Amino acid sequence: MTHGDVATLALRLSQPDMLALADWEAADVLNQPDPQQPVVVSWRHTEAGVGTVLDVLGPSAGAALLDVLKNATDPVLRWGMHILERGQLDISLASTRAQLEALTQAGVMSEPQKDALFALSRTIRNPSWAEANNMIVDARAVGIARGGRP
């Protein structure tokens, strides 16, 4: 831990919610997801196909979207449909998400439908205080920040 890390940790440990905790308890709290931290959104590789669209949006709404894509004259949508038919449309890609946003703005799909497809790939979480501050916080680090010997 750098001197700056120790100072940052010491400042956090001086707050009222930390004062009565044992070193190991404070470390545990600082490594738990913290709703005070900004949300982190990440995208995991997720390949979708025609069946995925029908399953997520339902048979009627899914079929309506697939018909729009199948009959599209726009080359981006046509190729997107080709990839979707192969079961390889990766929702984690920014380009795919941008197309789904555009379809939503064009009224082809609703915001809830887009969100349902995004949910296949999106992870939303609160990082811990330690992660948000890019630190490894264990009982030893807490003890040092509280003035103990390294």
Looking at the chain, the whole-number percentage of residues with pLDDT higher than 90 is 79
Query: What's the CA gap between 44 and 134, in Å, rounded?
Result: 22
Predicted local distance difference test score (pLDDT) of residue 57: 95
Query: What's the CA gap between 28 and 139, in Å, rounded?
Result: 8
Reading the block at residue 128, the tokens are 């811990």
Q: Work out the number of other CB atoms within 10 angstroms of the CB of residue 41.
A: 10
The closest alpha carbon to 84, from 48, 122, 43, belongs to: 48
Q: pLDDT by residue (tens digit) across 102-128? A: 989 988 899 999 999 999 999 999 999
Q: How large is the average pLDDT for residues 40-55?
A: 95
Q: Work out the number of other CB atoms within 10 angstroms of the CB of residue 4.
A: 8
The pTM score is: 0.71
- Domains of the chain, by residue range, sit at 3-39+126-145, 41-121
Q: How large is the average pLDDT for residues 84-91?
A: 94
The pLDDT of residue 56 is above 90: yes
Q: What are the percentages of helix, strand and coil residues in the chain, rounded to 5?
A: 55, 10, 35
In the numeric block, the tokens 């379809």 are attached to 103
Predicted local distance difference test score (pLDDT) of residue 47: 95
The pLDDT of residue 149 is above 70: no
In the numeric block, the tokens 């930390």 are attached to 18
Work out whether the CA dihedral 3, 4, 8, 9 comes out positive or negative: negative
Q: pLDDT by residue (tens digit) across 17-44? A: 999 999 999 999 999 999 999 999 999 9
